[in-house]
Amino acid sequence: MAFVRDLWYAAGWTQDVKRELLPRTIIGDHIVLYRTEAGEAIALSDTCPHRFAPMHLGKLNGDTIECGYHGLRFDRGGACVYNPHGNGATPRASHLRRYPLIEKNGLVWLWMGEEAAADPAGIPDFPWLDDETYAFTGSHTIPMALPCDLIVDNLLDLSHAAYLHPGTLGPQQGTKDVTSVRKEGTRIFSDRLIPGAPPAFVFTATGAATPDETVDYWANMRWDPPGSFYMDAGIVTAGGQKEDGRILSSVQIVIPATETSSYYHWKMFRNFAIDSAEVTAGIEAAVMQAFTTEDEPMIAAVHQRMAGREFWSMKPLLLSSDSAAVQARRVMADLLKPRHENESMEAQPIVAVAG
């Protein structure tokens, strides 16, 4: 699988990068992150150029990182600054790659392409994570032995929720939805409304609604490549105004580690039961159950059944609910093309079956 290098990738949450060595693998690159004594976050190659030992198995010495195999030290720019062997000359031609890094909205973003092309304006914006009027869950990261594209497919088609998550996040089976999809540049929007339906379990379990209440439920997804999602979700008494609703929204970011593994970063936020630690814990438990015992096993089964075959080669039957996921696949295919190729990917047909 080829990866798009000219993108910003979320390496993790700001709180995860500390005065200790944190390894990450992003699009196949082994990276080590840490903070300097002044608090600056640094991202370097996690492979020593001498004997290729993982740098995260070493230690910090001030602001330098010391290889645990032979003691070579590299500064925060990646240059070798200390050699304990021979005459002590430092092999300055050898260095660790330093990745451009920006912290924004509580996330640590790395640019994986050429440094000269790194434009901070390309980082997806998540201002909701800085809004102190909301109550937040913790900032979570789940390693998953799943390819990024299948997780993205799953998140861009929320029609699965009624069938895969009936006791956690999903509406009742058989509820009708109105979904619209649009594309702006490389960004995909998928807006979904379920009018006049019973509330999902997560809303009744947290006290946001009563089981006998009839609500309008919205779940609007915004996607940026390769896997950055803002989900605007909530309920309001049927016929009410969205601004009067009970919000349970989230930021979910899927980052490819390798061809067959990913990191899933997620955080939920709400505008009800603001001071309730119990409600926060309940939401976290429901989400973890849905992600790890419902989504993950199903996507793993899909991946196993595909048996290494390319998605389009299997001639998938496509429903109207697949529109957003199909468009995201086209965006990624376009981004993989050489820069001089500006034509769009040849459209794959979307076969609408049963609405």
What does the pLDDT look like over 52-81, one tens digit per residue? 999 999 999 999 999 999 999 999 999 999
Which pLDDT does position 342 carry in this prediction? 44
Distances (CA, A) of 339 to 110, 220, 343, 353: 21, 31, 10, 36
Q: How many CA atoms lie within 13 A of 234 on its CB side?
A: 19
The answer to whether 11 and 24 have CB atoms below 8 angstroms apart is: yes
List the single range of 78-82, 198-202, 279-283, 298-302 with lowest mean pLDDT.
Answer: 198-202
pLDDT over 90 (residue 168): no
Beta strands in 87-197 (DSSP E): 101-104, 107-111, 135-136, 140-144, 178-184, 187-197
Asked if omega into 225 is within 30° of 0 (cis), the reply is no
Instruction: Provide the 3-class DSSP secondary structure of residue 222.
Output: strand
Residues 6+ apart with CB under 8 A from 10: 107, 108, 109, 110, 228, 253, 255, 265
pLDDT over 70 (residue 173): no
List the single range of 37-51, 119-133, 189-203 with lowest mean pLDDT.
Answer: 189-203
Q: Higher pLDDT residue, 171 or 197?
A: 197
Which pLDDT does position 162 carry in this prediction? 78
Which pLDDT does position 177 carry in this prediction? 79
pLDDT over 60 (residue 354): no
- For the chain, the C-alpha Rg in angstroms (whole number) is 23
Sign of CA dihedral 325, 331, 337, 342: positive
pLDDT over 90 (residue 89): no
Which pLDDT does position 19 carry in this prediction? 97
The answer to whether 281 and 273 have CB atoms below 8 angstroms apart is: no
Backbone angles phi, psi at 190, to 5 degrees: -130, 105
Q: What is the mean pLDDT of the chain?
A: 91
Would strands 246-258 and 29-35 be described as parallel, antiparallel, or unpaired?
unpaired
pLDDT over 80 (residue 123): yes
The answer to whether 303 and 259 have CB atoms below 8 angstroms apart is: no
| Rounded distance between C-alpha atoms, residue 162 and residue 169, angstroms | 8
Which pLDDT does position 94 carry in this prediction? 84
Q: Higher pLDDT residue, 249 or 174?
A: 249
Angle formed by the axes of helices 323-336 and 148-156, nearest 10° = 140
Region 208-233: mean pLDDT is 95
| Rounded distance between C-alpha atoms, residue 76 and residue 67, angstroms | 13
The answer to whether 267 and 248 have CB atoms below 8 angstroms apart is: no
Domains (ranges, CATH) in the chain?
A: 8-122 (2.102.10.10), 127-308 (3.90.380.10)
| Rounded distance between C-alpha atoms, residue 33 and residue 143, angstroms | 17
What does the pLDDT look like over 325-349, one tens digit per residue? 999 999 999 999 876 454 444 444 4
Region 167-189: mean pLDDT is 83
Instruction: Provide the 3-class DSSP secondary structure of residue 76.
Output: coil
pLDDT over 60 (residue 351): no
pLDDT over 50 (residue 27): yes
Which pLDDT does position 239 carry in this prediction? 94
What does the pLDDT look like over 227-236, one tens digit per residue? 999 999 999 9
Which pLDDT does position 339 carry in this prediction? 63
pLDDT over 60 (residue 350): no
The answer to whether 143 and 255 have CB atoms below 8 angstroms apart is: no
pLDDT above 90 as % of the chain: 80
Which pLDDT does position 174 carry in this prediction? 60
